[in-house]
Structure 1
Amino acid sequence: MKVDNKRHKDEVPTVNTDWWNYGGITRDVVLVETPQAFVQDYFIHLDTEASALKPITKKAEVSGWVKLNGASKGEKVTVEIPELKVKKTIEYQDSITQFSLKLPKVELWSDVNPKRYDITISAGSDVLHDKVGFRKIEVSDKKILLNGKTVFLRGVCLHEELPTEMRRAKTRDDALTLLGWAQEMNCNFIRLAHYPHNEHIIEVADSLGILLWSEIPVYWTIDFGNPEVLKKAKHQLKEMITRDRNRPSVIIWSVGNETPVSPTRTEFMKELVDTAHKLDDTRLVSAALEVHYNPEKNTIDDPLGAYTDIVSVNEYLGWYGGLPSYCESAQWETIYDKPLIISEVGAGATPGFHSDSLTRWSEEYQEWFYKEQVKMMERMPDNYTGITPWILVDFRSPKRNNPTYQDGWNRKGLKGDQGEKKKAFFVLKKYYEEMEKAHK
């Protein structure tokens, strides 16, 4: 047996990607000894209507299910939340068994109050311990609601990489470092690009109150016409949702990024959206969609947007085309009455390289780029509800080969590879401070 990081055309992701293809074992490997019958899986979520929710909600209702392994029908299963003095015993039905609980009161989890509760689920001699947070995420009137209130997603994209040591981010301390950098910029939301990140990132986000977008690597031009590739993508989607569906920080499941429009691709992606909804109907489903660019108006009309809960698009006006001043006249429209997230936007800057604002790769150019983007955001359609600039920190990529300004690094980070803040970092920080005040 060996660890093999070779890429293949019929895999997810495929051969062509824009991040470092780390090899070896880059995450924890844990051997767990269990009794013959044990708690294999569970799910618990808040049922109470959003209109009845308050930061501390009385008589809240939650429901869920338990799955045992090696147990017989009739086995007693106990679900307990000690802090709330709630305890219920049910009988296992030899398959996934539903349960519901009435909580006398519950303090809701949110980005401003990441309250969590210890939960234990026991069956026979086996006891599962976990921490859960109760919150509700939904769409209403072209806005995203968290616990019944509009939330603006002040975000940033992130790769699972600690650039200062040129390795995978693999520990809890690594997670605290990366998410701490995001909090310095006043972020309340992170798009985890472009694959499910390790459990430390998710757990720390739970504890800090950072909302998450979690994504499978259906990336660019995979083989959309191959049924086996669709099967692999569905398997990865199921694994991601199975692992993290009890994590309150995760509010969006993403089924892909920048997949070129075609009928075959759209049917492939619709299958993934439908699968995500079936596996977990308590969260939103999205993908980074394509944009129809036009000198008169940029139109968001990707047919996949008809099936996602929110519309998310990547745009790089002023970097891959024209100057940042192009944003002054750029107009946007979307054919979908759904919340809109700008899921990527960015420009490269080599840390420490300073020049006038017209000089590409300078921190001044990147700063100008974001100043123009912020002004353009004020003219976005009224369903604009969040943004995740590309990207928090420079990361390694073999596709980025400019010997002077890149040298194997994607330089669109708001921080450099040594963690130094570029000038654009402070543009976003100021914007997020203003948006936080505006949405209180």
Structure 2
Amino acid sequence: MKFKIKTNSSNRFVLLTLCLMALYSGFAQSSLIQNIDNRTTVSLDGTWQIIIDPLENGYYNHRYQPKDNGFFMNEKMQTPSDLIEYNFDEGYELQVPGDWNTQMEKLYYYEGTVWYKRSFDYDKKDGKRVFVHFGAVNYDAKVYLNGKKLGDHIGGYTSFNFEVTDLLKAKDNFLVLKVDNTRKREAIPTVNTDWWNYGGITRSVTLVETELNFIRDYFIQLKKGSKANVEGWIQLDRPLETNVSIEIPELNISKNYRTDANGRALVSFNGAFDLWSPQNPKLYKLELVFAGNSLEDQIGFRTVETRGHKILLNGSPLFLKGISVHEEAPFSAGRVTTMEECEVLVSWAKEMGCNFIRLAHYPHSEQMVKAAEAAGLLVWSEIPVYWTVPFDNPETYANAENQLTDMISRDKNRTNIILWSVANETPISDARIAFLSNLSKKVKSLDNTRLTTAALDTQSSADGYNMIDDPLGEHIDVIGINQYCGWYFDKLSNCAKGKWKTSYDKPVIISEFGGGALQGYHGSEDERWTEEYQDALYKYNLQMLDNIEFMAGMTPWILKDFLSPRRNLKRIQNDFNRKGLISEEGIRKKAFYRMQDYYKGKN
């Protein structure tokens, strides 16, 4: 008997996407291990040896076929006649974590392949497993240990790990990565962006030591709509029916649960929680116990929902006094690499009077999210579906959904995240609506306790009004609007007169507005690039925004000047996007103090 499955173009797209999702999960990539900071770890950060390989000679032969003995073998000459045309130990060095662009002048604009190698010893212990965990590698990472390929990872801003238990030696291990940050049309993000494509191992590399079976993942948050009932789950790494428990000592909560045959236990319990808020960023010590081993975390509890045009935190309306932030080092340029740098950026936002930050345009480090959580800053977290990605490409969708899943998987227990964003400034089309609405559905399937959003462009004007009518508004909970009156269109003085309407009974966040200024450059408010022009732009835009009755918050663009290769105006830009309210040296511009005064008067 023969069966035929009828397919149309829509479900063919879905079937292909499912296949590609399997590809993007990595060949041997293990499921992401949650909360490595509170596990037994060994850092592999520090000095790594590198080889710059623009023609990828270390991977392909002259017929452009993958080599069996590429640079990942870390071969050494054994006799004087050996022909080995590379040597990691006699070449360049870079610090990990870090980007290569700002560490080495010759790599400032470089996009391509760099090989990284780190040698180390390891004291193996009986009855233990070991994983190598990467905070982020931009963009295409191929990972090898002792000449054996562990797997691949695509995406420059999300964490991943591989098991290495059976490959480790007591002496002379070598971990090698082929890192390629070449921009591609079908990638996420695509070729056209307005931030620096920092290449390299940009976040920490860690060996994580576990028991043979262990709590790999968990989700512990208040049930949607409840201030007292927690619902979630605990997942063991290996299938096993057994007992696990949750303890919150401060509240005298101790609950036991039974995992199913897949090693998963559903969790539900009540508590009299002191709810987390910007005014009271309360975190509880939580212990997850399995087979006598305890895994600790700091967990907060809060509710978030919408009611008409309002965003409610713990049942009360809250105006989001925010700022957009790139993951750029506070007193220079380059990727943020330390908790101390994250804390500086957070302190600047707090100094301005913020209770909210938009982490644009990609998932920032786990350190940044935790620093914001401890400081009482709510978070908008975003994947880099940015501008004109090919929305009809199943491979692109699979990549985007995988990065979305990785982002949520890592940060789902961070109580300060209230918005998962699926896109920024994407042009309207049927393919785009299908792409982004499916991403929004994916968010809800993974985490229904938070809200979905996207940063949209203003789409039309009617009767003198800016009209918010993008059809994606039907598929998200909160609408973000990017608008640049006084910078990309219209005169400064006209901005205060701007009027707005919306087609949706939903909250609106003005997710971007602003303009550029070179810190220390002064003149009249009519002279572009001066601090006075930027300050006047903020003055008139804030007058306009104050008249939007359905506005629930704002995140002006942007906290700090940041590198962007689109910004070529010498003397003024010098590769920097100058829309920051703080310069790359950490000096506040006039508009910073205007926003500070504005937020002081905003409840």
Could you say which TM-score interval applies, normalised by the shorter chain? over 0.9
Equivalent of residue 228 in structure 1, options 395, 401, 409: 395
Q: TM-score, normalised by structure 2?
A: 0.69
In 2, Cα distance between equivalents of 1:261 and 1:2: 37
Contact 1:327-1:372 within 8 A present in 2 as well: yes
Contact 1:325-1:372 within 8 A present in 2 as well: yes
Deviation of 1:48 after TM superposition, in Å, equals: 7.7
2:198 is aligned to 22
Confirm whether residue 46 of structure 1 aligns to residue 222 of structure 2. yes
1:425 is aligned to 592
Equivalent of residue 343 in structure 1, options 511, 516, 538: 511
Confirm whether residue 178 of structure 1 aligns to residue 353 of structure 2. no
Confirm whether residue 333 of structure 1 aligns to residue 509 of structure 2. no
Deviation of 1:163 after TM superposition, in Å, equals: 4.6
Gaps of 5+ in 2: 1-176
Contact 1:39-1:126 within 8 A present in 2 as well: no
1:4 is aligned to 180
Confirm whether residue 290 of structure 1 aligns to residue 457 of structure 2. yes
Amino acid at match of 2:419: I
1:217 is aligned to 384
In 2, Cα distance between equivalents of 1:292 and 1:20: 28
Query: In the TM superposition, what whole-angstrom CA distance separates every residue of 1:59-103 from its partner, at most 9, and x where no partner exists?
Result: x22121111112412x11011111111011111112332111122
Compare relative contact order (CA 8 Å, sep 6+) and give the higher one, 1 or 2: 1
In 2, Cα distance between equivalents of 1:79 and 1:397: 46
State how 1:188-227 maps to structure 2 within 5 Å. Answer: 188-227=355-394
In 1, Cα distance between equivalents of 2:460 and 2:493: 16
State how 1:274-289 maps to structure 2 within 5 Å. Answer: 274-289=441-456
Contact 1:39-1:127 within 8 A present in 2 as well: no
Deviation of 1:367 after TM superposition, in Å, equals: 0.5
Contact 1:37-1:126 within 8 A present in 2 as well: no
Contact 1:261-1:290 within 8 A present in 2 as well: no
In 1, Cα distance between equivalents of 2:422 and 2:298: 26
Partner secondary structure for residue 526 of structure 2: coil
Deviation of 1:429 after TM superposition, in Å, equals: 0.7
Contact 1:163-1:395 within 8 A present in 2 as well: no
Aligned-pair RMSD on alpha carbons?
Answer: 1.2
State how 1:256-267 maps to structure 2 within 5 Å. Answer: 256-267=423-434
Gaps of 5+ in 1: 54-59
Equivalent of residue 384 in structure 1, options 551, 568, 578: 551
2:207 is aligned to 31
Deviation of 1:331 after TM superposition, in Å, equals: 1.2
In 2, Cα distance between equivalents of 1:237 and 1:79: 28
Equivalent of residue 122 in structure 1, options 289, 295, 301: 289
1:56 is aligned to none
Partner secondary structure for residue 405 of structure 2: helix
Contact 2:323-2:557 within 8 A present in 1 as well: yes
Query: In the TM superposition, what whole-angstrom CA distance separates every residue of 1:267-300 from its partner, at most 9, and x where no partner exists?
Result: 1110101101111000000000121243711111
In 2, Cα distance between equivalents of 1:368 and 1:31: 51
Contact 2:224-2:449 within 8 A present in 1 as well: no
2:470 is aligned to 302
In 1, Cα distance between equivalents of 2:284 and 2:223: 17
State how 1:81-160 maps to structure 2 within 5 Å. Answer: 81-95=248-262, 96-103=264-271, 105-160=272-327
2:35 is aligned to none
Query: In the TM superposition, what whole-angstrom CA distance separates every residue of 1:358-411 from its partner, at most 9, and x where no partner exists?
Result: 00000000000000011101211x221100000000000000011121110000
1:324 is aligned to 492
Confirm whether residue 362 of structure 1 aligns to residue 538 of structure 2. no
In 2, Cα distance between equivalents of 1:215 and 1:343: 12
Amino acid at match of 2:256: T
Q: Which has the larger radius of gyration?
A: 2
Query: In the TM superposition, what whole-angstrom CA distance separates every residue of 1:40-63 from its partner, at most 9, and x where no partner exists?
Result: 11111113846xx5xxxxxx2212
Amino acid at match of 1:294: S
Contact 2:243-2:256 within 8 A present in 1 as well: yes
Equivalent of residue 479 in structure 2, options 294, 311, 314: 311
Worse-matched range after superposition: 215-224 or 118-127:
118-127
Deviation of 1:303 after TM superposition, in Å, equals: 0.5
Equivalent of residue 582 in structure 2, options 392, 415, 423: 415
Amino acid at match of 1:313: I
Partner secondary structure for residue 602 of structure 2: helix
Contact 2:465-2:500 within 8 A present in 1 as well: yes
In 2, Cα distance between equivalents of 1:293 and 1:368: 26
Contact 1:350-1:405 within 8 A present in 2 as well: yes
Partner secondary structure for residue 428 of structure 1: helix
Amino acid at match of 1:288: A
1:61 is aligned to 229
Q: TM-score, normalised by structure 1?
A: 0.95
Partner secondary structure for residue 294 of structure 1: strand
Deviation of 1:206 after TM superposition, in Å, equals: 1.1
Partner secondary structure for residue 271 of structure 1: helix
Query: In the TM superposition, what whole-angstrom CA distance separates every residue of 1:308-343 from its partner, at most 9, and x where no partner exists?
Result: 001111000110012211113211111000001000
In 2, Cα distance between equivalents of 1:312 and 1:287: 6
In 2, Cα distance between equivalents of 1:433 and 1:314: 23
Query: In the TM superposition, what whole-angstrom CA distance separates every residue of 1:342-362 from its partner, at most 9, and x where no partner exists?
Result: 000010001000001000000
Deviation of 1:3 after TM superposition, in Å, equals: 1.8
Worse-matched range after superposition: 23-32 or 275-284:
23-32
Amino acid at match of 1:40: R
Equivalent of residue 238 in structure 1, options 369, 385, 405: 405
Partner secondary structure for residue 165 of structure 1: coil
In 2, Cα distance between equivalents of 1:62 and 1:274: 23
In 2, Cα distance between equivalents of 1:366 and 1:328: 14
Contact 2:496-2:542 within 8 A present in 1 as well: no
Deviation of 1:114 after TM superposition, in Å, equals: 0.3
Contact 2:223-2:449 within 8 A present in 1 as well: no
Contact 1:116-1:131 within 8 A present in 2 as well: yes
Contact 1:206-1:247 within 8 A present in 2 as well: yes
Amino acid at match of 2:494: Y
Amino acid at match of 2:450: R
Contact 1:195-1:217 within 8 A present in 2 as well: yes
In 2, Cα distance between equivalents of 1:135 and 1:415: 32
In 1, Cα distance between equivalents of 2:498 and 2:273: 46
* Number of equivalent positions: 425
In 1, Cα distance between equivalents of 2:396 and 2:491: 39
Contact 1:220-1:257 within 8 A present in 2 as well: yes
